[in-house]
Structure formats: structure tokens, C-alpha cells
Homo-oligomer: A and B are copies of this chain.
Amino acid sequence: MATNPLLSGDSRFTIDNIPFGVISTKQDPTPRCAAAIGDFAIDLAKFAGDSRLDSIIGQNAATDIFSKPCLNSFAALERETRRAVRAALQLDIQDELIPPHCLVKLADVTMHLPFSIGGYSDFYCSLEHVQNCSPLAGVANIPESWFYAPSVYNGRVSSVVPSATPIRRPRGVYHGPDGKPVYGPSRALDFELEMGVFVSKPIDFASVLDIRDVEEHVFGFVLLNDWSARDLQVFEMKPLGPFHGKGFGTSISPWVVTMEALDPFKCSPKTKQNPAPFDHLKWPGPAGTFDINLEVELIRAGKVVKICSSNLRYLYWTPYQQLAHHASAGCGLSTGDLIGTGTISGDNVAEDGRKTELGCLFEATVGGTKEAELSDGTRMTYLEDGDEIVLKGTCGVKGGSAPFVDFGECRGIITPALSS
């Protein structure tokens, strides 16, 4: 086993993981589907073209499913079929049967958006985050509605980009130093630590989703950075909610970690819900979320500094509840729709008094009114041009015998605003 080049202990993607994504290379610039193992991508168009998946999904798999520039056709297959594809890949990896011409080094691939995304919605479901943000947004108490249904808005699909896409500082309207509205480059650029959920099986328009069936409808998870311009956002929020304050860029990690890979990390949420949720949002078991460790790094002037850590299970409303709520009024959901979990903050306080689990700078800088102090003494308020933010996520511990899953990275660097 130790000599299997795909199963090196140092490499990023373990046999427990097998995430899916969309790749291209210099030699073959046509985007197509892939899976990741070790430090390699398996080109699934080529792999299926070699008839290695015919027994599972038929002879046209390469053309109809894996040669597409998105995972939508694959994700629309029955869950059992997708499971079988993943299991077949795992077997062939272990038996060293992946044909070499199907393997591309991760260092040599360009990653694309994994899905053709028809809808993108973003939630607001961390109790710690809403507790911290409400007073800063001039809201004395958390709205009652927040405790009765997961709070959510529609995001802007055209602004969802894969990791490594530069994020241009947006121009917009906000209150200038003298209190008068001005139009100019945002002065309060922020990140938000979130995860994203991709829908597999669709839900018809005018239909709803029984929460007991929710797992059938989730393809997998990615890291998601909901870049935010706080000055634009505060100016525009009343009464219709965020628009340009969020709509200039949302970055996602390009490898989608499947429900199968996450299965060993099922757990209960951190917080008991009170009041008890309505029946249609009640999860019929204890393990309704996942234990996913999250981390944010800032790269400023070449120096890497950790900004915060967090965990998906901190969310008050779980991703399953979010999806059930989303479907409950009949809007319909399509394969490839993306759901942002909302910023995931925690309440840990370090020995030196610093809050280490605040998932955005709006919280860490108390609405931009004071500097945040990072673990190495770095002081910062909002993001500067040239700053790079890196989101990371893992399940389990690397190198042991128990399963370990790495989400890869979600990166973005801030570029200057247009001059006009």
C-alpha cells in the first residue's frame, strides 16, 4: 500500500474523500468532470471513455455525463449510482487500476465552477454571528422570526466564482465621513466564513420537501467565502436586504466533498433549539449536522496569519433544516443549486481574552470601530487591496487510521476598485 503513488500520507485527498470537480489543463483546455485522489485528479471523461464505468452507468457515460463542463448530469443520477461510481473509483485506486493517462497532477489543473448554478441562496443561521451582528446593524434584539425559521436571502449567481478568482473591490453608495451618501470604492471589505451545499435531486416548482428525504437531495459540501462590503450593505439593507454589499463576489472551493465522504462525521448541532422547530423542520434523529473544522487565514504582504477557526456544527439551524425550509414554500430547487450556510461563528475565548471563532471582520472589529488583534499580534480592520483570504476545512485527523477528509482551499485576493 505504501508504494501506491495515489495514497501517499502527505497528499491532500485521501481514499476516504474522493471529491468531485471540474478541471481543464493546458494540453486539454475543455472543462470536464474529475475526481481527486492524493495529489492527482482523475479525468473522468477519459476514465469513462475507457469503458471503466459502463457496468454502472452505461456506455454513454463519458459523453453524456463526464465530458460536460459541470457536475450537474452526474449529480442528477440516483444516489445509489453515484455511490457505486465512487466505490468503483476507490477500488481501482487501491488496486492501482486507474489508467495513467487518466491522471493529472493537481498542480497542473485549472479548476472551474463545479456546477452550472441555477440558484444561489445564502442563510444567516449562526446564533453567535447574529448575536454579534445585530447590535452593530442597529437591531436591539434578534428578530423573533430568526428562531422560527432559518433566515435567508437570494444571492447573485453570476458572482459565484471558483477559488483563486481575484475579487475586485466594488464601488457603491454608502455614508461618507461627513454622513452624506457618496458613491465610491468600498472602505469596509470583509470576508465571511461559510460552507456551501450543492443540490443533487431536484424539487419541483410548487412542491415541498419532507425533511426525512433531505439526504437524497444533497450532493455535497464546499467552502464558501461570502465577500461583503459592509458600508454598501449597511446603506442598502433597509428594507430589501443585502444586494451589492454581497453581490460583487462569492468564492467557493472547487472540489465538492460528497455526503458519502462526510458520513463518518455526522454529529449533533452544538446548540439545542428553543423554541422547538415546526414539524416540517424537525430532524428525525440526533445527528443532523457534520463535524467539520474550519479555518481562515489572511495573507498580507507575504505573511500568513490565522484569523479564526470554527466548526459547521456550531450552526443553530443545520444545513438539512435550511434545505427543508428553502423548499417549503414551493420555489423549486434544481440540480446544481447552491446554498450558503451563512457565516459560522463560535464563542471561544482564548487565554489572552481574544475571541478566536468570529467568522468575519465585521464581528472581530465590532463593526469596523476597533482593530482586531490576531494571534501573532497583527492588528487589522477591514481588507486592503492585495490581501488574500484562504478558507480551509477538514474532518478528522490527518495520518491516523480513522477517516480524514480535506476540503482543499477557497482563496481570493482583493484587487483595486475600477477608477470610475
The answer for the CA separation of A244 and B154 in the assembled complex, in Å, is: 10
This chain: copies in complex: 2
On whether A205 and B158 interact (CB within 8 A), knowing A173-B145, A248-B329, the answer reads: yes
On whether A248 and B330 interact (CB within 8 A), knowing A239-B143, A241-B239, the answer reads: yes
Among A66-74, A87-95, A229-237, A298-306, the stretch that binds chain B is: A229-237
* Per-residue contact bits, chain A 84-122, to B (CB 8 Å; 1 contact, 0 not): 000000000000000000000000000000000011010
The answer for the CA separation of A249 and B330 in the assembled complex, in Å, is: 8
| Overall SS of chain A's interface | loop
| A315 at interface by CB-CB < 8 Å | no
| A172 at interface by CB-CB < 8 Å | yes
| A355 at interface by CB-CB < 8 Å | no
Collect the chain B residues with CB atoms within 8 Å of residue A159's CB. 205, 330-332
A124 to chain B: closest residue by CB: B240
A169 to chain B: closest residue by CB: B330
Q: Is the CB of B205 within 8 A of A170?
A: no
Contact of A153 among B173, B243, B280 (CB under 8 A): B243
The answer for the CA separation of A145 and B244 in the assembled complex, in Å, is: 13
On whether A329 and B232 interact (CB within 8 A), knowing A153-B153, A154-B156, A278-B183, the answer reads: yes
Additional A-B contacts beyond A119-B157, A154-B156, A171-B328 (16; CB < 8 A): A119-B156, A124-B239, A144-B181, A148-B181, A152-B240, A152-B243, A153-B240, A154-B154, A154-B247, A159-B205, A170-B329, A171-B330, A183-B279, A240-B242, A241-B242, A247-B331
| A418 at interface by CB-CB < 8 Å | yes
- Chain A residues engaging chain B, CB cutoff 8 angstroms: 118-119, 121, 124, 134, 137, 139, 143-145, 148-149, 151-159, 161, 166, 168, 170-173, 181, 183, 205-208, 229, 232, 235-244, 247-249, 278-280, 328-334, 337, 418, 420
